[in-house]
Structure 1
Amino acid sequence: MKKAKGKLGFIKKLFHHSDSAKLARKFIHQHHKELKEKQSPTFVTDTDTVKLKDIVFKTKKNFQLGYEVFGWYPYWEKDYYKYLNYNLLSTIAYFSYEVDPKTGNAITTHDWDTTPIVDSIKAYPDKKILLTVSNFGEKNNRKFLKNTTAVNQLVENLIQLLEKRKGNGVCIDFEGVAKSQKEEYTSFLLTLSNKLKKANKDYLVYITLPSVNWSEALDFNSINQTVDKFVIMGYDYYGKTSSVAGPVSPLNSDKTWEPYNLTTSVDYYLENKIPNNKLLLALPTYGSLWETKTQSLQSKVKNYIGSRTFSYIKKNIEGNEQIYIEPISKSAYSSFSIKGDKNQFRQCWFENDSSFVYKTKLIKDKKLAGLGIWALGYDKGYDDIWNVISSEMAVESENSDEKEQDSVKNAGSIFSKIVNTLGLKDPNSKINTVEEKLVSITDYKNVLLYTMSFALFFACVGFVWAMFSPNTRAGFFNNTSLKGYYIGLMLLLAIVIFRILDAIDDFIVMLIIGFLLGVLAFYIANGIVERKKKELP
Structure 2
Amino acid sequence: MKKLFFTISTLVFLISCNNIHQSKQKNKNVTKSNDSSNVISDRQLQSQKNETYNFNTEEQWDSLNKRVDKKVIHRKGKVHPNTKTFGWHIYSNGSSYKNYNFSMLWGLSYFSYALEPKTGSYKSIHQWKTTSLIDSAKAKDCKVFLSVSNFGRENNSIFLENRKAQKTLIDSISNLLAFRSANGINIDFEGVLKEDKEYLTKFIIEISKSLKQDNPNYMISLCLYAIDWNDVFDIQAIDPYIDFYTLMGYDYYGSFSKTTGPVTPFKTSQLFRNGLEKSVDYYNDKGVDLSKLIIGLPYYGAEWYTNKPEIGALVSRFKSHPRYYTIKDIYIDSLKIPVQFDKKSASSYLIIKDSNKKYRQLFFEDTTSLSIKYDWVKSNKIGGIGIWALGYDDGYTELWDLLNEKFSEQ
TM range (shorter): 0.7 to 0.9
How far has the Cα of 1:120 moved from its partner? 1.1
User: Does 2:160 match 1:145?
Assistant: yes
How far has the Cα of 1:385 moved from its partner? 1.2
Q: What letter is aligned with 1:54?
A: K
Would the alpha carbon gap of residues 105 and 22 (structure 1) be closer, same or farther in structure 2, given more than 3 Å must change?
closer
Choose from 306, 317, 333 the match for 2:349.
333
User: Does 2:214 match 1:232?
Assistant: no
Query: What is the DSSP-based 3-state SS (H/G/I as helix, E as strand, rest coil) of the residue aligned with 1:225?
Result: helix
2:26 aligns with none
How far has the Cα of 1:24 moved from its partner? 5.6
* In 1: Cα distance, 2:50 partner to 2:346 partner: 29
User: Does 2:407 match 1:390?
Assistant: no
User: Does 2:126 match 1:110?
Assistant: yes
Alignment of 1:279-318 (within 5 A): 279-318=293-332
How far has the Cα of 1:37 moved from its partner? 4.4
Alignment of 1:218-257 (within 5 A): 218-257=233-272
Alignment of 1:118-129 (within 5 A): 118-124=134-140, 126-129=141-144
| Per-residue Cα deviation, 1:150-202 (whole angstroms, up to 9, x for no partner) | 11111011111111110111101111111111111111111111111110000
* In 2: Cα distance, 1:104 partner to 1:383 partner: 39
* In 1: Cα distance, 2:103 partner to 2:225 partner: 28
* In 1: Cα distance, 2:91 partner to 2:391 partner: 10
User: Does 2:24 match 1:29?
Assistant: no
* In 1: Cα distance, 2:209 partner to 2:99 partner: 36
Query: What is the DSSP-based 3-state SS (H/G/I as helix, E as strand, rest coil) of the residue aligned with 2:147?
Result: strand
* In 2: Cα distance, 1:335 partner to 1:68 partner: 34
Alignment of 1:59-98 (within 5 A): 59-60=76-77, 64=80, 66-98=82-114
| Per-residue Cα deviation, 1:431-474 (whole angstroms, up to 9, x for no partner) | xxxxxxxxxxxxxxxxxxxxxxxxxxxxxxxxxxxxxxxxxxxx
| Per-residue Cα deviation, 1:36-63 (whole angstroms, up to 9, x for no partner) | 4448xxxxx9975675542342324x76
TM-score (norm 2): 0.85
Alignment of 1:21-60 (within 5 A): 25-38=39-52, 48=65, 53-60=70-77
More relative contact order in 1 or in 2 (CA 8 Å, sep 6+)?
2
Query: What is the DSSP-based 3-state SS (H/G/I as helix, E as strand, rest coil) of the residue aligned with 1:318?
Result: helix
More helix by share: 1
Is contact 2:39–2:256 with CA below 8 Å preserved after alignment? no
How far has the Cα of 1:78 moved from its partner? 1.4
Would the alpha carbon gap of residues 188 and 63 (structure 1) be closer, same or farther in structure 2, given more than 3 Å must change?
closer
List structure 1 runs of 4+ shifted beyond 3 angstroms. Answer: 21-25, 36-39, 45-53, 62-66
Is contact 2:138–2:144 with CA below 8 Å preserved after alignment? yes
* In 2: Cα distance, 1:109 partner to 1:268 partner: 33
Is contact 2:37–2:191 with CA below 8 Å preserved after alignment? no
Query: What is the DSSP-based 3-state SS (H/G/I as helix, E as strand, rest coil) of the residue aligned with 2:395?
Result: coil
* In 2: Cα distance, 1:49 partner to 1:353 partner: 25
Would the alpha carbon gap of residues 289 and 372 (structure 1) be closer, same or farther in structure 2, given more than 3 Å must change?
same
Would the alpha carbon gap of residues 46 and 242 (structure 1) be closer, same or farther in structure 2, given more than 3 Å must change?
farther
TM-score (norm 1): 0.66
How far has the Cα of 1:241 moved from its partner? 1.6
1:419 aligns with none
Would the alpha carbon gap of residues 230 and 94 (structure 1) be closer, same or farther in structure 2, given more than 3 Å must change?
same
Is contact 1:46–1:311 with CA below 8 Å preserved after alignment? no
How far has the Cα of 1:395 moved from its partner? 3.1
User: Does 2:153 match 1:135?
Assistant: no
Is contact 1:231–1:372 with CA below 8 Å preserved after alignment? yes
Q: What letter is aligned with 1:188?
A: F
Would the alpha carbon gap of residues 33 and 50 (structure 1) be closer, same or farther in structure 2, given more than 3 Å must change?
same
Q: What letter is aligned with 1:394?
A: S
User: Does 2:361 match 1:347?
Assistant: yes
Q: Answer with 1 or 2: which has the greater Rg.
A: 1
1:440 aligns with none
- Which residues of structure 2 form unaligned runs of 5+? 1-31, 54-61
2:19 aligns with none
* In 2: Cα distance, 1:381 partner to 1:185 partner: 39
* In 2: Cα distance, 1:248 partner to 1:17 partner: 24
- Which residues of structure 1 form unaligned runs of 5+? 1-15, 40-44, 397-537
Is contact 1:56–1:85 with CA below 8 Å preserved after alignment? no
Would the alpha carbon gap of residues 297 and 25 (structure 1) be closer, same or farther in structure 2, given more than 3 Å must change?
closer
State how many pairs are aligned.
Answer: 369
2:13 aligns with none
Q: What letter is aligned with 1:113?
A: K
